[in-house]
Structure 1
Amino acid sequence: MFSTSRKLFAEFLGTALLLAIVIGSGIMGETLAGGNTAIALLGNTIATGAGLVVLITIFGPISGAHFNPVVTLAFAARRDIGVFLALAYILAQVAGAVAGVYAAHEMFGQAIMQVSLKLRDGPALAFSEGVATFGLMATIFGCIKFKPDFTPIAVGLYITSAYWFTASTSFANPAVTFARSLSNTFAGIAPHSVPLFIAAQCVGAIVGVVVFSWLLSEQKNAKPINPSAEL
C-alpha cells in the first residue's frame, strides 16, 4: 500500500507529464509539419497515446493513474475511492495539468503564461466530447472487469483512435481541458470553449458509469449459456 501523499504526488506528476506530452508534441508537430494540420495532429496523437500507455503503467500501481477528474469521480461513485481522497486527487490533477503546460512552454522557449485563442465551439464538438468520455468509461471499466493488465494499452489505444474519430479530438478530461486553455499553441482551447467541453465530459462520464455498471454486472442466479442447446 502507498501512502496518501505518494498517491497524490503520483496523480500530480502523472498528469503533469501527460500535459507536457500533449502540449509539447502539439508544438513540435505544428513546427515540423510545415502547415499540414493532418501531419501535426498525427504527431500529437501518436505521442499522446504512447505516453498514456507508459504513464498508466508506471503510476497505476501507486494511485490508479486516473489523471482525470471524471475518472476519479466515477470511481468515487462506485465507492472504490473515498470522497475526500477523490477531491484531493482532483486538486492534484488540476495542479499537475497546469504545471505540465508550463513545462512544455519552457521546453520550447515560449512564454510560460499564455491564454489560448483557439475557439472550439458548437453542439457537434460538445456531443463529440460526450461520446469520447463515454467511450473512455467503457474502456476503463471493461478492462477492469475482463482484462485489468491490458488497461494501459487499451486506454492509450482508445485515446489514439478518439483523436481521429471525434470532431473535438477527444479531450475527455476536465483537468486537461482547463490546462489546455492556458496554452495558445496547437493543442489549445479558448477559455470561452472550456465550460461546454467540461459539461459534455461530465454528461458522458455519468452516462458511461450508469450504462457500464449495469452492463458489466453479473445477474444473480442467471443460468449459464449452453451453445449446444441452440443446435
Structure 2
Amino acid sequence: MSMSQPEAARRKKLTTLMEAVRLVESGDQAKAQAALRDAEGDQQDELYVAMLQEAREALDHPHKVSSLAVHLAGNFTQRCQELLAQSKTVTSRDRAAIIEEAKNYAEEAEEAYKASGLLETGQGRSAWREMKIQTLFAEWKLSAELRSEMSEDSWIQRHAFKKARKEEIRAQAESERGADEQVAFKAGAKERADQGFLVAEGLVADGKFEQARQVLEEVEEGWRVSGMLGFPGRPFEKALEDLLAKCDLPDDRT
C-alpha cells in the first residue's frame, strides 16, 4: 500500500519549508524565496500558513529561523508518532508502507531538531531519541512479524488484546488510587481533629469558650469522618463532652 495523495502532499509542504530553513541558514536568499514560492498553495491549513509566514519573515530576519525549525520539528515528530500508532492497527503488508513514511518524517525531524538547536537541550535530545527508538522498534517488530508463522490477523488481535489489557490495568490503578486517597483523607481528618482538640483545650484554659466551642465542632466532624466515634465506651465522645462541659461552667470558675 502506498501513501495517499493527501499524505504525500502534506509531507511535501513540510519538507519544502525545511528546505527553506536550510537555504536561509546557508544565506542563499534567492533559492530560499523560490522554495517558499513552491510551498504556497494550500491556504486551508492554518498551521501551515502560519509557518509559511514565519519562513518569509526569516528571510529578512535570519535569527527567526530557529523558531520556525522548532515548529517544524514538532510537526515532523507528531506526524511520525501518528503514523507509528496507525501502523499497529493494520496488517503487516500495509504496515510496511506506513512505517516507511514514518521513517521519512523522522529523518526530516532530525534535520529540524538540528536547525532549531533543540538537540543542544536535554529535553530536545530526549524527544528526538524517543522518536528514533520508536521508529526503529516498529521496523524491527515488522520484520519479526513477517518472519513469524502467525497470521496477519493474529497480530492485530494480539495488539487489540494488549490494548484492552492496558486499559483494564489503568482503570484498576485509578480505582486503587481513589481508595488510597480516601484512606489518606480519613487519616488526615483524624490528625487534624486531634490537633484541633489540643487547640480547644488551650482555648478553654485561656477562658476563650466561644472559640473553643467552634473548634470542637470541627473536631467532632473530623473524628466522625475518620470513624473515631462509636467505639465501645465512647472515649472520643466523652472527651468532647467533658471539654464542652467546661465551656458551659459559670464564669466564676473557682
Task: With a CA cutoff of 8 Å and minimum separation of 6, indicate the structure with the bigger relative contact order.
Answer: 1
Which structure has the larger Rg over C-alpha atoms? 2
Length-normalised TM-score, structure 2: 0.24
**Which is helix-richer, 1 or 2?**
2
